[in-house]
Amino acid sequence: MDELLRTNDVVFLSFVEALLSDAGIEHLVLDTNMSVMEGSIGVLPRRVLVDSTRLAEARTLVRDAAQPTPPGEG
């Protein structure tokens, strides 16, 4: 498995997990317990890993979903 991203933003993390699940891309979130234990300092981001063979697909999915649709095009 390869790292897709690191984040301290739990809302964004939830969004990414939903995107990956909906696309059928298996993923793991690492460092959740350590991130919670260190509190809100933000020193230990959570890491999202995906299968190496689907990394490019996952990157495209997250990138495209994170870009807002211009008015009148959606």
Domain holding 8: CATH number? 3.30.70.790
On whether residue 44 sits in a domain, the answer given is: yes
Q: What angle do CA 13, 48, 42 make, to 5 degrees?
A: 60
Measure the CA–CA gap between 8 and 15, rounded to whole angstroms: 13
Helix 55-66, helix 10-22: angle, nearest 10:
120
Measure the CA–CA gap between 45 and 64, rounded to whole angstroms: 22
On whether residue 34 sits in a domain, the answer given is: yes
On whether residue 59 sits in a domain, the answer given is: yes
On whether residue 72 sits in a domain, the answer given is: no
pLDDT band at 13 (very low <50, low <70, confident <90, very high): very high
Give the count of domains, the chain: 1
pLDDT band at 47 (very low <50, low <70, confident <90, very high): very high
On whether residue 71 sits in a domain, the answer given is: no
pLDDT of residue 27 exceeding 70, the answer is yes
pLDDT of residue 48 exceeding 90, the answer is yes
Specify whether the CB–CB gap between 57 and 23 falls below 8 A.
yes
Average pLDDT over residues 23-41: 82
pTM value is: 0.81
pLDDT band at 41 (very low <50, low <70, confident <90, very high): low
On whether residue 42 sits in a domain, the answer given is: yes
> Which residue range(s) make up the domain with 6?
2-66
